[in-house]
Structure 1
Amino acid sequence: MSDNAMVSRVENDRVLVLERVFDAPRELVFNMFKEAEHLKHWWGAKGWELPVCNIDFRPGGVWHYCMKCIDQNLGEYYGMESWGKGVYKEIVEPEKIVYTDYFSDAEGNENENMPSTVIKLEFIDLGGRTKLVNRAEYASAEALKTITDMGALEGIAETWERLEKRLNEVK
């Protein structure tokens, strides 16, 4: 477990900014987001796994994935699947990834009833450590509230704890 806590703030009522420092080089942290083999080990909150993770890592490419709850202690969520789809807009290795994130179904069709998000990930080199800045821009304050009411902050905090653990395993 890292002593580097996630920091969050909201800008302009519709942009959620999350930051955390990881004890790993920038290139390694960046690779965790571009390779399915890494994502399968850490993406998702505690008790969830990533049984499907298909990545075409290039501008215009698609990342399609399924998160599945495998922890019986999570009650009603046990066995639940949550599908997502990202469409990459911009990639600057190892500095930045910009993509639009959607809720989807197993075929990759976007769920029009859930808000989409433009995600900008910045990987800032701190000399052997990396500051990750995640800017999630929503269409409205209501869309951001929908996501935060679903527990997104807690889920991302747990996901980033799992990322820290994976980084420690491979570095």
Structure 2
Amino acid sequence: MSNNKMVSRVENERFLVLERVYDMPRNQLFQLFKEPEHLKRWWSTDGWELSVCNMDFRSGGVWHYCMKCIDKNQEEYGMESWSKTIYKEIIEPEKIVYNDYFSDAEGNINESMPSPEVTMEFIDLGSQTKLVSRSEFDSADSLQAVLDMGVLEGITQTWNNLDVLVEKINLSHLR
């Protein structure tokens, strides 16, 4: 794994900002966010897998997915966590804007859970890309609720998985 670490900060009590540099050109990194077969390789936390990944990657499209705990050593073993993303704007390969929701298996949104609007920017650094995620919550309490749920730990693990995939892809191109 590269030495690039995720940097996180809270701005104006309602924004969670995450940044990380990946050793991959912007066009390539963007592809890892738009294709289900790529997402299945990295979008998960330790001991979990992306067991369902239905995606319509376009403005107005929906990504409905399930993460399932497959680690028998975790107390959450067998548990499913469903989410629904509704894409608002996609400018390839620069930006993805979406609303992020907790949902059920049928795609019904859980209105009692925080649902941020997320803007992901892919900043071209030549052979590298700086990924910047800005999640805007409706209140400081909503942001604090997801922080208390462990969102930073989860995103760190997920973005670490992405870094491992980036390294594998880069190594395979050297062969």
Category of TM-score, reference length = shorter chain: over 0.9
Residues 9-158 of structure 1: pairs in structure 2 closer than 5 A: 9-74=9-74, 76-158=75-157
Paired with 1:160 and 1:126, the residues of 2 have a C-alpha distance of 18
Amino acid at match of 2:135: A
Paired with 2:89 and 2:131, the residues of 1 have a C-alpha distance of 17
Amino acid at match of 1:2: S
Unaligned runs of 5+ in 2: 171-175
TM-score (norm 1): 0.97
**Structure 1 residue runs of 4+, over 3 Å off?**
none
| SS state at 1:72 partner | coil
Paired with 2:73 and 2:6, the residues of 1 have a C-alpha distance of 25
- Give the superposed CA RMSD: 0.8
1:120-168 per-residue CA deviation (whole Å, 9 max, x = no partner) reads: 0000011110100000110000000110000000100000010011112
| SS state at 1:53 partner | strand
Count of paired positions: 170
User: Sequence identity, in percent?
Assistant: 65
Paired with 2:54 and 2:48, the residues of 1 have a C-alpha distance of 17
Paired with 1:29 and 1:73, the residues of 2 have a C-alpha distance of 32
Unaligned runs of 5+ in 1: none
User: How far has the Cα of 1:79 moved from its partner?
Assistant: 1.0
| SS state at 1:28 partner | helix
| SS state at 2:29 partner | helix
Paired with 1:2 and 1:14, the residues of 2 have a C-alpha distance of 30
Paired with 1:8 and 1:161, the residues of 2 have a C-alpha distance of 14
2:160 aligned residue: 161
TM-score (norm 2): 0.95
